[in-house]
Amino acid sequence: MALVSADVWWTASDGYPIHVHRVDPVGPIRGWILLLHGIQSHAGWYQATANDLARKGYSVWLPDRRGSGLNMADRGHVASWRRLLGDVCQLLYRAAAERSQRAPQAPIVLGGISWGGRLATAVAALRPQLLDGLTLLAPGLIPRIGPTPWQRVRLALARRLGIYQRYVPIPLGDPALFSDDPKWQQFIREDTRALHDVTTGFLFAGEDLTRQLQRLREPLHCPVQLLLAGHDPIINNAATRLLVQRWSPTASIHEFPTSPHTLEFGPAQPAVVETLANWIQTLPRISALP
């Protein structure tokens, strides 16, 4: 199937310009998929999956989170978790407007990869009317890697003192954490768009997103899919599985035994795409937007 690939820019409600890479099929659209990347990565890491899904008839949107990828302003920084939530919601409104013109009954699916899984789940929980399904790919809901106790104390002190723009290294410097393949490890090592430092404000936003999710008492409104990497040194798969089942007792859960944390960079990438596409085909439209 022929594809149309484009880099587009849109302006967030606070005036911040945000880059979105989108891939569309030429012809009818079966649905819209928005994929949110991880803390260090960006839209460019997931080109193969975007192309494969578009060949199956889906419009795939890969936004760079503000301060990441091609978004150079305020590198590695965000003012609050609400700002991140607002950015994603604006994109979902745009997708709904496009759907109303092109395929009114097609689903809109929000996906979260690694750290992006935390943000995607918060959107699904707090703005359920905006999407028809949530897919989580090795989501950073319960990570194995995080701040040490001393670093947590320092972070809490920085929040109390209102220190929001002090830069902190992301503790994921080894490319082997993301992939077992030397080719992809070299790609990560040489990637000039990857993020290696974030501000304390960004870390506060991540903590606040986690607190929002900890307050969830009701099941998520939409269908949920969880895709786990069997060879994942970053994510606690067993705990993540239990957490997602609590939020969505009927969640569709698949684990790819030989895959590294970044499913895109492992041998099961084609199977991941097939599993995701097959699940989307089962989704009814439930979102409240036109």
**pLDDT for position 238:** 98
Q: From CA 120, how far away is CA 220, in angstroms rounded?
A: 12
Q: What is the pLDDT of residues 70-104, one digit of tens each?
A: 999 999 999 999 999 999 999 999 999 999 999 99
Alpha-carbon distance of 165 to 62, in angstroms, equals: 26
The domain over range 3-280 is classified in CATH as 3.40.50.1820: yes
What would the two tokens of residue 174 be? Answer: 């080894």
Average pLDDT of the residues in 123-128 = 97
In this prediction, residues 121-144 reach a mean pLDDT of: 97
| 147 pLDDT tier (thresholds 50, 70, 90) | confident
CA distance 140 to 119: 9
Cα(135)–Cα(210) distance, integer angstroms: 18
Structure tokens at 87: 């950015």
Contacts (Cβ under 8 Å, ≥6 apart) of 96: 108, 130, 287, 289, 290
DSSP one-letter string for 124-167: HHH-GGG-SEEEEES-TTSBS----HHHHHHHHHHHHTT----E
Query: What is the Cα gyration radius of the chain?
Result: 18
Average pLDDT over the chain reads 96
pLDDT score of 1 more than 70: no
* Per-domain boundaries in the chain: 3-280
3-state secondary structure of 61: strand
Q: Whole-angstrom Cα distance, residue 254 to residue 252? A: 7
Model pLDDT, residue 131: 97
Copy the structure tokens of residue 157.
């002190």
237, pLDDT greater than 70: yes
Place of tokens 């106790």: 149
- Which residues touch 130 (CB under 8 Å, ≥6 apart)? 89, 92, 93, 96, 108, 110, 123, 287, 289
* CA atoms of 74 and 234, how far apart (whole Å): 26
Section 47-57 average pLDDT: 97
Q: pLDDT per residue over 201-217, tens digit each?
A: 999 999 999 999 999 98
Q: In what order do the strands lie in the sheet with 17-25?
A: 3-11, 17-25, 58-63, 31-36, 108-113, 133-137, 224-229, 252-256
H and E: helices and strands count for the chain:
8, 10
pLDDT at 68 over 70: yes
The CA-CA-CA angle for residues 113, 34, 82, to 5°, reads 75
